[in-house]
Amino acid sequence: MTSPAKLTVALVQQSNSDNAEQNMAKSIAAIREAANKGAKLVVLQELHRSLYFCQTEDVDVFDLAETIPGPSTHTLGELAKELSIVIVASLFEKRATGLYHNTAVVLENDGSIAGKYRKMHIPDDPGFYEKFYFTPGDLGFEPIQTSVGKLGVLVCWDQWFPEAARLMAMAGAELLIYPTAIGWDPRDDSDEQTRQKDAWVISQRAHAIANGVPVISCNRVGVEQDPSEQSEGIQFWGNSFIAGPQGELLAEANNTDEQILVIELDQQRSENVRRIWPYLRDRRIDHYQDLTKIYRD
């Protein structure tokens, strides 16, 4: 274990507008509030600078992308240094003209970039046309070492894949972190909305259980309209949460409001859970070869 035995963490669930400066100012204010409440690690939601622009395919949207290092990492790095905290941010990364990523970046408490993770699983569904914008990540599933521990940072669609969580845990991740932008089609009935949200929570709580590590899942909230007017937009369902190493819910936001969740994690307990439930010890890797196939015909 490389993280402190007790670690206060926070996540910021917020709504967004088409004004990037206002969105960033809102995030910064929430980070300051979380730090004032003792947080040493603060997680922001997926693509927190802007609206979720993947509802349509529009080449002009690429103007939102920025380099890493760049303006946002400079601003958040200065804030991390001022507050002596670690920040997990989520940016539309411009790697080169015509080459863009959905990237989570971790700012260390001295203002430096501790590392970044490029989203590996890229969805392509109605209202979530991410393959138009994002090249699949090429950095693999590598945890990022920080002053508050080894962080297994993944992004949104990655949260549905147990392989991603497992590989992060196998590489020593002490926390799994999921910046997220997921919501309902407003035309779905309430039963379908409940099934979708419950599946999302259960999936990530299962990652906590199967790997014996806490999970921080930070989603956005609010209704964002479809610029093409071909649909009724997306109602982002919030429900950001922090779960312990046995999947227990430690803190959970609602599905309508901007909220900041702050909780103290007992990392020594996480260590003890992994000793009592030694999933890594009992894995039968000699019989898992077929996992490298797309499907067993």
pLDDT at 269: 94
Domain boundaries, the chain: 11-292
* pLDDT higher than threshold 90 for residue 220: yes
What pTM did the predictor assign? 0.97
Closest CA to 213 of 281, 266, 163: 266
* pLDDT higher than threshold 70 for residue 1: no
Percent of the chain with pLDDT over 70: 100
For residue range 238-270, list pLDDT tens digits in order: 999 999 999 999 999 999 999 999 999 999 999
Q: Which pLDDT band holds residue 139 (cuts at 50, 70, 90)? A: very high
* DSSP code, position 41: E
Task: Calculate mean pLDDT across residues 140-145.
Answer: 98
Average pLDDT, the chain: 96
Closest CA to 279 of 233, 245, 251: 245
Q: Which pLDDT band holds residue 4 (cuts at 50, 70, 90)? A: confident
The amino acid occupying position 213 is V
Length of the chain: 297
Residues classed as catalytic? 46, 119, 156
Closest CA to 250 of 3, 31, 5, 10: 10
For residue range 154-208, list pLDDT tens digits in order: 999 999 999 999 999 999 999 999 999 999 999 999 999 999 999 999 999 999 9
Closest CA to 147 of 34, 4, 267: 4
CATH architecture of 11-292: 4-Layer Sandwich (3.60)
One DSSP character per residue, 244-283 reads -TTS-EEEE--SSS-EEEEEEEEHHHHHHHHHHS-HHHH-
